[in-house]
Structure 1
Amino acid sequence: MATVSRITLRIEDAGRNRSRVTLTYRICFSHCEAMAGSTFIENVTLRGDDPVWDDHLITLRNGCIRAQNGCIDRELTRIVSNSTLDEDPDTIIFGWVIGNKDEVYGRVRLTPFEPNGSQGDSNIVSAHFGPAG
């Protein structure tokens, strides 16, 4: 199975209430996955770390990647609004701002792609097609 390692998140000020988010990571494929030309869905998200459950903040990438021999190093950089990263909103009491520190981390998930069939239905046409028509 493909493995993801060396995941590192960096967040830098980009001005105008935005941040430059950079996530680097390494994906390593098995020899059999490379030989088969296996395809994976690569889902990269930012999440807020909280005590009960972690919040999904934003999806940075959701696409396909094909296995190849060995490992590949990946880097994603996106400009993100600070309001998106503000996963623990600050408290304002009588004009006093009490800052709540935000804890953000990146998650990289690889899911083996499995082709599925699809079907769709048209609209319904109502008419008399028999002798009554």
Structure 2
Amino acid sequence: MATITDVRLNVQKGGPGGSNSRRNVTVSYEVCFNRCELLDGTVFVERIDLKGDDPIFDDQQAVLSNGLCIKATEQCIKRKITRGVSRSTLDEDGDTVIFGIPINEDQDELYAKITLTPFTPHGDEAKSNVVRGSWGALGSD
């Protein structure tokens, strides 16, 4: 299986306030492939999730990448992805607000989870429109 190393998450700080304003979220990593993957020409599908780090259950905050195909190469590949994410999405541990007044700021803890899944081809099917006619013994079409 591909080896993912040197995973880094960076979230832009500062800038305009308000829950609708956005911050640049950057994830970088390096992926290296083994000999069998190289010989096979294996293609992997990348998914990068932004998750909230919590004691019991890590919440899904955003999907930063989903569906990009990466082909195994002899050289390791360095990837860097930057997406704009709203502050309200980054606020995974909401602050305490009473009667509309914020009284306690809760620190948010985020991490990136990278998954590379070997691509598996699958087919597709579709139907055409329905054409009506009379092609039988009594028909004229």
**TM-score surpassing 0.5?**
yes
Q: 2-side partners of 1:30 and 1:131: how far apart?
A: 66
- 1:43 maps to 47
- 1:11 maps to 11
Aligned mate of 2:114, from 108, 112, 116: 108
Distance apart, 1:15 and its partner CA: 2.1
- 1:59 maps to 63
Give the RMSD, CA atoms, in angstroms.
Answer: 2.1
Structure 2: give runs of 5+ residues left out of the alignment.
none
Identity in percent: 44
Distance 1:100 1:122, change over 3 A: farther
- Matched position secondary structure for 1:15: coil
- Structure 1 or 2, whichever has the larger Rg, is 2
**Residues matched between the structures, number:** 133
- 2:105 maps to 99
Structure 1: give runs of 5+ residues left out of the alignment.
none
The answer (yes or no) to whether the contact 2:37–2:72 under 8 Å persists in 1 is yes
Distance apart, 1:4 and its partner CA: 0.7
TM-score (norm 2): 0.80
The answer (yes or no) to whether the contact 1:91–1:100 under 8 Å persists in 2 is yes
Matched, 1:82 2:82: no
- Matched position secondary structure for 1:53: coil
Tell me the alpha carbon deviations over residues 25-62 of structure 1, each in whole angstroms, 9 at most, x when there is no partner. 11011122122211000111111112222111111111
**Aligned letter for 1:4?**
I
The answer (yes or no) to whether the contact 2:50–2:110 under 8 Å persists in 1 is yes
In proportion to residue count, which structure has more strand? 1
